[in-house]
Chain A
Amino acid sequence: AQSVTQLDSHVSVSEGTPVLLRCNYSSSYSPSLFWYVQHPNKGLQLLLKYTSAATLVKGINGFEAEFKKSETSFHLTKPSAHMSDAAEYFCVVRSNQAGTALIFGKGTTLSVSS
């Protein structure tokens, strides 16, 4: 079985400071991991994904995440927050077993203040 835990329900940062959104996963198989972002009343947009290639994954809008198997973590980071980064972020796991849907974490709300 697979699951994902987002350790913080809400993160607040100032514009220009680093962002860290934490995620731990559990999977019976070698996992595929994703981060999605959702702006208010909008659909989901893929930020980045890990699928057993490079452990440091670069995504859109300056975000990146590092897959650490020993820590079962896939934390999302960004060096410098922008006001437009304020949104809901979901860490997502998919077992590589064929046909398995994505399992979403509970989400982390990122607030960015000026």
Chain B
Amino acid sequence: GAVVSQHPSRVICKSGTSVKIECRSLDFQATTMFWYRQFPKQSLMLMATSNEGSKATYEQGVEKDKFLINHASLTLSTLTVTSAHPEDSSFYICSAPKLAGGTNTGELFFGEGSRLTVL
């Protein structure tokens, strides 16, 4: 079946540095990918929709200059947390929709997530 892979699974960085998280669809093409953020013991909050070949669409309250999203190919989307601060520490999860005959079935395949800790 289709698989979405995220890398790195865990990253620790110093405050003020930037961190890049990759999301790859391994055996299917994804023109759209979604980035979610999950705080401890809380639900997933949609951050942005990544669109291949065009600008990402950000949800209200998400700083686009802080969370840079690039979807340069049909199998890769990246999220870069710029000038990270301790409050950016979180679990970031990407996902891509499953298509059937070119139609979005609504089911998402999720990466295993990337846990970011900013010291």
Listed in ascending order, the chain A residues whose CB lies under 8 Å from chain B are 32, 34, 36, 41-46, 49, 51, 90, 94, 96, 98-99, 101-107, 109
A90-B44, A103-B46, A106-B42 known; A41+B105 contact, CB < 8 A: no
Min C-beta distance of A51 to chain B, whole Å? 7
Q: Is the CB of A98 within 8 A of B93?
A: no
Residues of B within 8 A of A46 (CB): 107
Given contacts A43-B112, A44-B110, 12 further A-B contacts (CB under 8 A): A43-B111, A44-B93, A44-B95, A46-B107, A51-B105, A90-B44, A101-B46, A102-B95, A102-B106, A104-B44, A105-B43, A109-B41
State the interface size on chain B (CB cutoff 8 A): 22
Give every chain A residue within 8 A of B104 (Cβ-Cβ): 98-99
Q: Report A-chain residues with C-beta under 8 Å of the C-beta of B45.
A: 104
Contact of A32 among B32, B95, B106, B115 (CB under 8 A): B106
Most buried by A among B36, B42, B110: B110
Q: In whole Å, how far is A86's beta carbon from the nearest beta carbon of chain B?
A: 14
Most buried by A among B49, B107, B112: B107
